Amino acid sequence: MDPVEAVKPSRVVDAAASDPDGVDVTSWVSVCPRGLWVVHKTLTHTGRQQKVSDSGEALLSVYKPRLGSLCRVRVCVADQPEKSASVKDHETKRGGPLEVPEAAFRRQLDSVLQIPLGEWTTLKVGEGYCDVTEACVEAMRAGEACQIRVTPANGADMWHSQPMQEIRATVELQAFTPGKESWQMSSDEKWEWVRSHKERGGQRFRSGDLWGASDSYSRALKLVITLQGFEAVRREHQNDEQSTAPCKNQLCGPTVNNVQSMKAELHSNLSLCQLKLKQPVRAKENAAKATQLEPGHAKAWYRLGQACQIVNELEEARFAFHKLLKLQPESTAAMKALKDITSRERETNAQLGQRLSKMFN
């Protein structure tokens, strides 16, 4: 099965096992600007069970990085020399706090690993700047290292002329700060992550990083869906006439309309990415969800119509474009699409008539 159709544009874990010697071996599919890549990870060095406290001090712990954790990592490709440690690296080894990087490293459309190689780098888990490395460190403890083998999935890199080759590298996790699971976060914290992912998705889309944009929108959707539970509690709190307590953190955050509108926008944006990635079936599913959440979303109706046209569901496409015309009567794109549908139907009917004529003559 072609991963371009079979795998969603977000990380998917395929398998986890141990070899006969008890070594932890894991495989999954990761996203990078050049498409989908299969990652095989082998844990090669056991961690020293170090870190983390709210103050940033080093403590003994069995914790692993979570959403928002700052991780000090180094990725070295085979046969590439390691760079010397800086003063900050030595401070980290002594247990000093990690600092938020001034700016994230720039994603490059011709790169797979998406991280400065051979040097210690601070990576924030959850931001999705480097899907391969993030997936590794999320399952590691401080002081651990692993070997990875990254190979292109079928159908990846179809928009690049440069040949793709297997990549072998070592990933080391030196230290990390505390993070949170999604269920530990307040609605305000989740909403901030959702907005950040959406904004990052837009930036990636405009730069031509379609896989990265899809990944950002998918990450945002996974979090915004969990906000519905917060909304139920918040409505109950607001409707309680006897409650005079000020709004607490877990009862604040986005309104029901904010959440629904955001979900519709994310589904619509994801649909656009999938159209450009030649995934019309998935594009149709996401556009349809967007129109259900927000019937007045003109762009979602247009994308739904486009997806239906591609999969040759012309009646559904006609319905979507008529909906768009009700919202935007002057839409030339909708009128042109309807003319194209009529032309295709006439051509199909003419071909069918010719075939029937041959059968009975």
Residue ranges in the chain whose pLDDT is less than 50: 1-10, 12-14, 18, 20-22, 50-53, 55-61, 87-88, 90-95, 157-161, 232-233, 235-238, 240-251
**pLDDT > 70: what percent of the chain?**
68
In the chain, domain spans = 3-179, 180-241+248-254, 275-361
Whole-number pLDDT of residue 45: 73
Whole-number pLDDT of residue 112: 87
Whole-number pLDDT of residue 108: 82
Reported as a single tens digit per residue, the pLDDT across 53-98 is 454 444 434 589 999 999 999 999 987 655 555 534 544 444 456 7
CATH architecture of 275-361: Alpha Horseshoe (1.25)
Whole-number pLDDT of residue 333: 95
Considering the entire predicted model, what is its pTM? 0.81
Whole-number pLDDT of residue 361: 63
Reported as a single tens digit per residue, the pLDDT across 107-133 is 888 888 889 999 999 999 999 988 999
Q: What's the per-residue H, E or C state across the chain? A: CCHHHHCCCCCEEEEEEECCCCCEEEEEEEEECCEEEEEEEEEEECCCCECCCCCCCCCECCCCCCECCEEEEEEEECCCCCCCCCHHHHHHHCCCCCCCCCCCCCCCCCCCCCCCECCEEEEECCCCCCHHHHHHHCCCCCCCEEEEEEEECCCCCCCCCCCCCCEEEEEEEEEECCCECHHHCCHHHHHHHHHHHHHHHHHHHHHCCHHHHHHHHHHHHHHHCCHHHHHHHHHHHHHCCCCCCCCCHHHCCCCHHHHHHHHHHHHHHHHHHHHHCCCHHHHHHHHHHHHHHCCCCHHHHHHHHHHHHHCCCHHHHHHHHHHHHHHCCCCHHHHHHHHHHHHHHHHHHHHHHHHHHHHHC
Whole-number pLDDT of residue 248: 46
Whole-number pLDDT of residue 59: 41
The dotted CATH code for 3-179 is 3.10.50.40
